[in-house]
Structure 1
């Protein structure tokens, strides 16, 4: 995921801090030289030295604080959950997908509750009443994967939980062994995903906006392929993108107490931090107001400030614009779906059921060339 190792990343930052320290030391020598040449008093010399030392300490402290990144509210949830520990999966290494599908258990329930608490959601999930019906559709989605994507999934997706009333379509988590992230798990909401592919993604996109005469329709499958299994296939690839992001070190670890995206290649020029984009100040000013599953914005009043601008940015979808982590995950699923599988991804805005705007997934845009190359490297391993 990440083009430079964590070692190089911290070496770069340490070098940058050294440059600041050397600059300040040079200023100390310069001040002292002037003081000697001008025969300043000993008292004034000592005062200047103390002042410069104060500046030096401030520079070092500010550098460390600035480089540390933003607080990560999910770190404790991931670190404390038994789901994140490899010993919870010992003896379950089979590549048979049927053996990896579970109903929501106590640990998965507590994990989702904690995530919802952090995110401000009030939903409390429950186990699915009839897992077998949903499991058949889920197996169709998993077994339809081929090539390097299928190989990666079997290697790094350890378990899939199914529940109801999740608070969204799905969430993912990371599994560690000896301090190293080796794979992950996904928790799916069977009710939210009980739709055909085109209906599900259209529902998801419209969840950002208040209901009215203007709405969004997205097509990600041809009519014959517009199935529930393909809806699940798409959402699993998105969630798997989060797992890939962690295991391939595309961005800062989900387990870090503070996270900075500044020196990770995939995010350069797009994201300052998890929730702040370089585009916010002048290019895509409405972006911070976009929240999925909130129905918070009137679409009719705002679509012209969103979709025509979105189509000109290095953000392939609106969901990829919500935060830095989903920027990678939605870029990953967009690449597999549009570039590898050559499937459609077309968005229309309808007013009184008449199209007023159209756009495609932006993953093929020139502005995403470096991101495509990173994803290609992952899939060619």
Structure 2
């Protein structure tokens, strides 16, 4: 089950009253030692090996508190054997090329591994003198049990009941269809949440209330974290979509979802689930499709026969503002 806890941060508003939706994570994020730069040493090293850790007590307490808020009963534990997973992760990190590498080296301070996370990835931010400067990711080792195309297809199908209609997505050519490239995609998505805070793209999980109203990336698309301007008339089915719920019939509903999605500013269905993932999935889509020119092709099949096709929508005209914002982050 791939559940991403999106922990993105922002500087506090100077106004006396905060506007927006209540944020149940604010106190956890403010109190955890993981958010303080004093707890990180050796960041001057460019060696990824020095930034990969097994779950420790501080990270454990952090995840347990998040799970408590989210209603999960899982209590994560360290891996008995870190090395195989560390090797896969190093392959994923070392395969990254171009300008994104500099961003990762500068802002991805630590990566933890664990078991029984309650989800697949937790992302958080590190601050120095109150300012966000980077972040960390905690990964469940179970995220590494599928190659890239199988992983993203599994994720996309997780909203729907099993039946004669299914979704297949290809994000890698067969020679590159590996577990490390699945992890690479996951990490880029998580890193998008870190960038959202350090680049002040969206509201903060340090704030007790979060409003998206004054952020350029979300204008005209998101009213709040979970309510879109498109819900009333354009993409009315969107609020019913829940990843990892297996709650909807794909056969009965795909025509209300994917043909409509292709005409919206959402590059992927996952980016349409909430405002935070709108940025994170737009970021990984930009890097994957535009910067690295890798494939991203979705098919809907009925009895193994293709009945619908679409690509990643990151190149749509309706996302020109979002692309420019991402470009400024990657090419400052």
TM over 0.5: yes
Distance 2:255 2:37 in 1: 47
TM-score of the two chains, using structure 1 as the length reference:
0.81
Match of 2:128 among 165, 177, 189: 177
Is 2:72 aligned against 1:112?
no
Q: What is the SS of the residue equivalent to 2:133?
A: strand
Q: Which residue is 1:331 aligned to? A: 282
TM-score of the two chains, using structure 2 as the length reference:
0.93
8 Å CA contact 2:299, 2:309 repeated in 1 = yes
Q: Which residue is 1:79 aligned to? A: 30
8 Å CA contact 1:168, 1:293 repeated in 2 = no
Match of 1:372 among 323, 329, 332: 323
Distance 1:344 1:363 in 2: 12
Is 2:145 aligned against 1:186?
no
Q: Which residue is 1:205 aligned to? A: 156
Give matches, 1:238-253, under 5 Å.
238-253=189-204
Q: What is the SS of the residue equivalent to 1:338?
A: helix
Distance 2:311 2:48 in 1: 33
Deviations 1:210-250 (A, max 9, x none): 22221111100000000111001100000000000000000
Give matches, 1:225-264, under 5 Å.
225-264=176-215
Distance 2:116 2:195 in 1: 26
Is 2:144 aligned against 1:196?
no
Distance 2:97 2:299 in 1: 30
Shift of 1:92: 4.4
Deviations 1:154-178 (A, max 9, x none): 0000000011222333121001111
Shift of 1:257: 0.7
Match of 2:299 among 338, 341, 348: 348
Gaps of 5+ in 2: 1-9
8 Å CA contact 1:93, 1:158 repeated in 2 = no
8 Å CA contact 1:172, 1:187 repeated in 2 = yes
Larger mean CA deviation between 68-77 and 310-319 belongs to 68-77
8 Å CA contact 2:11, 2:131 repeated in 1 = no
8 Å CA contact 2:11, 2:204 repeated in 1 = no
Q: Which residue is 1:278 aligned to? A: 229
Is 2:108 aligned against 1:162?
no
Q: What is the SS of the residue equivalent to 2:196?
A: helix
8 Å CA contact 1:168, 1:192 repeated in 2 = no
Assess, with a 3 A threshold, how the Cα gap between structure 1 residues 169 and 6 changes in structure 2: closer, same or farther. closer
Distance 2:237 2:66 in 1: 26
Gaps of 5+ in 1: 15-63
Q: Which residue is 2:79 aligned to? A: 128
Shift of 1:90: 2.9
8 Å CA contact 2:146, 2:179 repeated in 1 = yes
Distance 2:36 2:101 in 1: 24
Shift of 1:194: 1.6
Q: Which residue is 2:52 aligned to? A: 101
Distance 2:95 2:27 in 1: 35
Is 2:310 aligned against 1:362?
no
Give matches, 1:51-90, under 5 Å.
68-90=19-41
Deviations 1:315-335 (A, max 9, x none): 001110111110000000000
Distance 1:123 1:206 in 2: 24
Distance 1:163 1:268 in 2: 37
8 Å CA contact 1:156, 1:184 repeated in 2 = yes
Distance 1:358 1:349 in 2: 6
Q: Pairwise CA RMSD of aligned residues?
A: 1.8
Q: What is the SS of the residue equivalent to 1:217?
A: strand
Count, aligned residues: 323
